[in-house]
Amino acid sequence: MRPIRHITLIVVLLLVLSFERPAVAQAPGVIDFHVDLTDAPSRIFHARLSVPVQAGPLILLYPKWLPGEHGPTGPIADLVGIKLSAGDQPVPWDRDSGEMFAFHLNIPVGATQLDIELDYLPPSGSGQFTAGAATSDRLAVMSWNTLLLYPAGRQANELMFRPSLTLPSGWGFGTALVEQGREGSKIRFETVSLLELVDSPVTVGAHHRVIDLTGDAEVRHQLHLIADSDEALGMKPETEQALQRLIAEGIALFGSYHYRKYDFLLTLSDHVASFGLEHHESSDNRLPERTLLDDTRLNLRAGLLPHEFVHSWNAKYRRPEGLARDDFQQPFETDLLWVYEGLTSYLGEVLTSRSGLWTPDYARESLALIAAELSNRPGRTWRPLADTTRAAQILYGSSRAGSSWRRGVDFYDEGVLIWLEVDTLIRRLSDGRRSLDDFCSAFFGGESGLPEVDPFSYAELVAALGEIAAYDWAEFFDTRIYSIQAEAPLDGITNSGWRLVYTEEPNLVQQGEREVYKRFDLTFSLGFSLSTEDGRVRDVIPGSPAAAGGLAPASILVAVNDRRWTPEILRQALAVARDDDEPIRLLVENSEFFSEVLIDYHDGERYPHLERNDAEPDLLSEILAPRLR
């Protein structure tokens, strides 16, 4: 990886660590780092580090701002059991009073090595990204950043680590790190920089399987499955073929790649936080245990691997300059997440279709749902999309209740609509000779080779789009990203030959969510969604019939028209109300108090779909079709 912006690093480190900086007491040399996961089933990870040092004051840092997590999410509260020693002497430490992620100590005269022992307590419940649940009885996901302290004063690409790992007996593992040897259950990996180490998580588990996806690619691509059961590893041959096509289509889209090999780590467990995190040469994908076993579950999450794969180009290689950092302590500036995440969301959906993981029909249903959700988002009337990117670090963990008025990290889904519009505009402006694919290979492609970071600015992005198709792109983004837009940007759908409509037919994605996630979504009719498990209202759309009746988010639906509620009873009430003037009566429990909510609504069930608009050529089908045969 190539070093970036040393001067900024020093200035900001001085600002961020607002204590007096001591002389650097770290000697050059490789840090030995051993992680012991034998107690992972008991939710405790152990680590030992041996750091070459010189006598004098030293600051140890815990990684705080993690690439891809877009916030100060290092799980410092779960870092425990810290014991420092030099030779036989304990070395006392003192946490900084202003920066919780920094520890002060003094290396005694004569000492050349600091030994660090510490534990990490992977949480079982809530938590985002690497701070989320990472273990079950049968598996664990280990992000090195959760278990290490590193000396301040040098860049993360200069600090070298020699990592090793001990696994529970019989467990397998997956990682982008290169194995160097084994002694019993201890695995040694090649020496890497701190940047590469944090970029290379490890998945381990009792049930594991490696699937080669290389196909015709020049370098190796593997899928490492770790699951809570052998059954869950049973990926269908057609899914395997689609994942091979994903790799071929991804490389065809960008025209090159920036890894020595690529490892998809896929953890299948109901006890691990469900998310994906991008890395240069791998991705940490975590999904429910039975995802690969039935089509409904797979369809709902099929976009995850394509999304994380796209990030190897758009995020890791080309990165907005505010997100490219030399260490883990300097805050990110997240303004360009509408490119980093928004464009990746669009390309992720495109590649999910081109690879055959989705049918074109399912891809359109997904797009229709995104368009409908963003069209029923009153938060658009006060908050421009740009504010959701700048505030990303406070929005990731925000409550579902109130989300339509708050807006959450909308730059993912709204990015799909905006970049579809860019794609259709390029196709129109060039009379079909060019497309967003050309922009992707020009801007994100580059020479194939080692992982490196090539930061970009907003001005460079706008200029590069202008090279593909002459247009006032700055004005385009000013309107859609940086201004308040009460209406969702649906012109990409219209340009691509389709239109958003609502019918009584269930949307395929919503139908899957009802089945698998126990969500009943009446957002586009009554104006709320709820959990079918406990009747809890997930959110109510301000201005909707439900809001007018006084329904509160997080209240619990008990009965509909005097009868205990079920999804069928509620659907029946919607059908009855369509043919008469009586309101739908809900009995609702709100913080121990019961009340009746009257909803004056008579239009029946409404679910979003795309309908062909024959006035325009069908660009959407062209976009979603495979490039390769």
Q: Which helix (H) or strand (E) holds 533?
A: none
Residue type, 447: E
Contacts of 88 (CB under 8 A, 6+ apart): none
Q: Which two tokens stand for residue 562?
A: 């005097």
What distance in Å separates the CA atoms of residue 282 and residue 267, rounded to the nearest whole number? 13
**Closer residue to Zn ion in complex, CB, 338/498:** 338
With vertex at residue 19, the alpha carbon angle to CA 18 and CA 23, rounded to the nearest 5 degrees, is 125
What distance in Å separates the CA atoms of residue 311 and residue 175, rounded to the nearest whole number? 17
**Closer residue to Zn ion in complex, CB, 228/341:** 341
**Closer residue to Zn ion in complex, CB, 144/309:** 309
What distance in Å separates the CA atoms of residue 95 and residue 15, rounded to the nearest whole number? 17
Minimum CB separation from Zn ion for residue 453, in Å? 16
Minimum CB separation from Zn ion for residue 57, in Å? 39
User: Which of 254, 283, 482 has its CA nearest to residue 390?
Assistant: 482
**Closer residue to Zn ion in complex, CB, 411/607:** 411
Minimum CB separation from Zn ion for residue 574, in Å? 36
Minimum CB separation from Zn ion for residue 399, in Å? 21
Residue bearing tokens 């970049």: 419
How remote is the C-alpha of 28 from its chain's centroid? 35
**Closer residue to Zn ion in complex, CB, 69/341:** 341
Q: How many beta carbons lie within 10 A of that of residue 609, not counting itself?
A: 22
**Closer residue to Zn ion in complex, CB, 69/605:** 69
Minimum CB separation from Zn ion for residue 416, in Å? 12
β-pairing verdict for 262-268 and 221-227: parallel
In the complex, the residues that contact Zn ion under the rule CB under 5 A are: 341
User: Which of 138, 186, 174, 168 has its CA nearest to residue 33?
Assistant: 186
**Closer residue to Zn ion in complex, CB, 67/163:** 67
Q: Are 497 and 364 in contact (CB under 8 A)?
A: no
Instruction: Kindly report the three-state secondary structure assignment for every residue of 57-93.
Output: EEEEECCCCCCCCCCCCCCHHHEEEEEEEECCEECCE
Residue bearing tokens 């059961």: 229
Extract the runs of DSSP E, i.e. beta strands, from 135-268.
139-142, 150-151, 160-166, 172-175, 179-183, 186-189, 192-193, 202-205, 207-212, 221-227, 262-268
Residue bearing tokens 């109510």: 540
**Closer residue to Zn ion in complex, CB, 327/413:** 413
Q: Which two tokens stand for residue 65?
A: 């701002």
Q: In what order do the strands lie in the sheet with 584-590?
A: 563-564, 556-560, 584-590, 593-599
What distance in Å separates the CA atoms of residue 524 and residue 570, rounded to the nearest whole number? 14
Cα end-to-end span (Å), the chain: 34
Q: How many beta carbons lie within 10 A of that of residue 77, not counting itself?
A: 11
Indicate the residue whose CB is closest to Zn ion.
Answer: 341
What distance in Å separates the CA atoms of residue 188 and residue 190, rounded to the nearest whole number? 7
**Closer residue to Zn ion in complex, CB, 308/605:** 308
**Closer residue to Zn ion in complex, CB, 149/350:** 350
Minimum CB separation from Zn ion for residue 147, in Å? 24
Q: Are 226 and 285 in contact (CB under 8 A)?
A: no
**Closer residue to Zn ion in complex, CB, 292/392:** 392
Minimum CB separation from Zn ion for residue 345, in Å? 7
173-207 burial code (b ≥16 CB/10 A, e <16): bbbbbeeeeeeeeebbbebbbbbbbbbbbbbbbbb
What is the CB-side half-sphere exposure of residue 240 using CA atoms within 13 A? 16
Minimum CB separation from Zn ion for residue 315, in Å? 7
The DSSP annotation for 37-55 comes to -TTGGGT-EEEEEEEEB-S
**Closer residue to Zn ion in complex, CB, 70/407:** 70
Minimum CB separation from Zn ion for residue 421, in Å? 20
Q: Which two tokens stand for residue 441?
A: 């290979």
**Closer residue to Zn ion in complex, CB, 436/468:** 436
